[in-house]
Amino acid sequence: MQLFDRYMEWMEGGTSLFSEGISTLGSGDHDRKTLLPDWNVAQLIAHVNSNARALVNLTFWARTGVERPMYESNDQRVTDIDEGAKQSLEYLKQDFNISSGELASSMRSLTLKELDFKVKSARGRVIPASEAAWIRIREVWIHAVDLAVGISFSRFPQLLLEALLDDVIGAYALRRDTPPLELVAADTQKTWRTGQSGSRGPIGGTESELLAWLIGRSTGETLRLGMPGNELPNLPPWL
Q: Where are the domains of the chain?
A: 2-151, 158-225
How far apart are alpha carbons 141 and 58 in whole angstroms? 20
Name the pLDDT band for 199 (thresholds 50, 70, 90).
Answer: low
Ranking 47-61, 66-80, 108-122, 172-186 by mean pLDDT, the lowest is 172-186
What pLDDT is stored for residue 134 in this prediction? 97
Q: Which residues pair with 132 in a beta bridge?
A: none
Name the pLDDT band for 130 (thresholds 50, 70, 90).
Answer: very high
What pLDDT is stored for residue 228 in this prediction? 62
Contact 146, 44 (CB under 8 A): yes
How far apart are alpha carbons 64 and 16 in whole angstroms? 30
Name the pLDDT band for 196 (thresholds 50, 70, 90).
Answer: low
Instruction: Give me the percent of the chain exceeding a pLDDT of 70.
Output: 96
How far apart are alpha carbons 13 and 221 in whole angstroms? 29
Whole-prediction pTM? 0.94
Contact 232, 203 (CB under 8 A): yes
What pLDDT is stored for residue 178 in this prediction? 87
Q: Give 148-165 pLDDT, tens digit per residue.
A: 999 999 999 999 999 999
Q: Give 224-234 pLDDT, tens digit per residue.
A: 987 666 788 88
Give the single-character DSSP code of 37.
Answer: T
* 122 has a pLDDT exceeding 60: yes
Question: What is the identity of the amino acid at 77?
Answer: R
* 142 has a pLDDT exceeding 90: yes
* 14 has a pLDDT exceeding 70: yes
- Fold (topology level) of 158-225: Nonspecific Lipid-transfer Protein; Chain A (3.30.1050)
How far apart are alpha carbons 117 and 65 in whole angstroms? 8
* 239 has a pLDDT exceeding 90: no
Instruction: Give me the percent of the chain exceeding a pLDDT of 90.
Output: 79
Please report the sign of the dihedral spanned by the C-alpha atoms of residue 14, residue 15, residue 18, residue 20. Answer: negative
* 1 has a pLDDT exceeding 80: no
Over residues 196-204, the mean pLDDT reads 72
Beta-carbon count within 10 A of 216 CB: 15
What pLDDT is stored for residue 180 in this prediction? 87
Over residues 63-91, the mean pLDDT reads 95
Contact 225, 232 (CB under 8 A): yes
Domain 2-151, CATH class in plain words: mainly alpha
Q: Give 16-42 pLDDT, tens digit per residue.
A: 999 999 999 998 999 999 999 889 999
How far apart are alpha carbons 43 and 33 in whole angstroms? 10
Return phi, psi of residue 157, to 5°: -60, 150
What pLDDT is stored for residue 227 in this prediction? 64
- Name the H helices within the chain: 2-23, 41-64, 74-84, 89-108, 112-116, 131-146, 158-173, 207-214
